[in-house]
Amino acid sequence: MKTSKIFEMIKILETYDLDEIEYSKWNSKIRLVKGKSGHPLQEFNPSTVRNFQKPKQSTYVDYTPPFESQSAVTEEINEKGIEVKSPIVGTFYSAPATGAEPYVKVGDMIKVGQPLCIIEAMKIMNVIEAEVSGKIEKILVENGKPVEYNQTLFVIEKS
């Protein structure tokens, strides 16, 4: 993020007498919060910001984004089928509401885009959708149990 964008945010914060402001774009996110006394919580020192310069000759860089998308991570498993993994840490819910029918059961046929479960993270409900069509072979997490990032939730036999 450019320092000019940060200074612009500070100006907006002061001009409109806001207590906090947040900006996010792609994988960058910044949140500015005004202290109770109205003074910055930490002084900004422009000399600590590094200026990166482009290479003098063009070079090929193989770039891999630092974060996975919010969709469930799937990968091929030899004979087991396809694993659907949790993209975030949170609480696993198999149904849209308490007492409701689960989104899927073992043996169900599913289609791409069909909801499989919900993972609650910080009071936000994240619907995990199927990225492949197939049959639910295994459900590896119990309703209401915590899940870790990249933990396998389902095994799907691809059709």
Q: What is the pLDDT of residue 35?
A: 66
Model pTM score: 0.51
Q: What is the pLDDT of residue 63?
A: 52
Q: What is the pLDDT of residue 71?
A: 47
Q: Are residues 31 and 79 in the same domain?
A: no
**Left if phi > 0, otherwise alpha if psi is -120 to 50, otherwise beta: which for 116?**
alpha
Q: What is the pLDDT of residue 68?
A: 47
- Asked if residue 108 is part of any domain, the answer here is yes
Q: Are 157 and 151 in contact (CB under 8 A)?
A: no
Nearest one of 39, 35, 9 to 22, comparing CA atoms: 9
Query: What is the domain-level CATH number for residue 92?
Result: 2.40.50.100
The rounded average pLDDT for each run of 10 residues, N- to C-terminus, in the chain (159 residues) is 76 78 76 64 54 53 50 52 91 91 94 92 89 92 93 90
Q: What is the pLDDT of residue 88?
A: 92
Q: What is the dihedral of CA 141, 147, 150, 154, to 10 degrees?
A: 20
Q: Are residues 20 and 81 in the same domain?
A: no
Q: What is the pLDDT of residue 137?
A: 93
Q: What is the pLDDT of residue 56?
A: 56
Q: Are 141 and 153 in contact (CB under 8 A)?
A: yes
- Give residue 14's domain range: 3-43
The residues with which 121 forms a beta bridge, in sequence order, are: 124
The count of domains in the chain is 2
- Token digits for 126? 């994240």
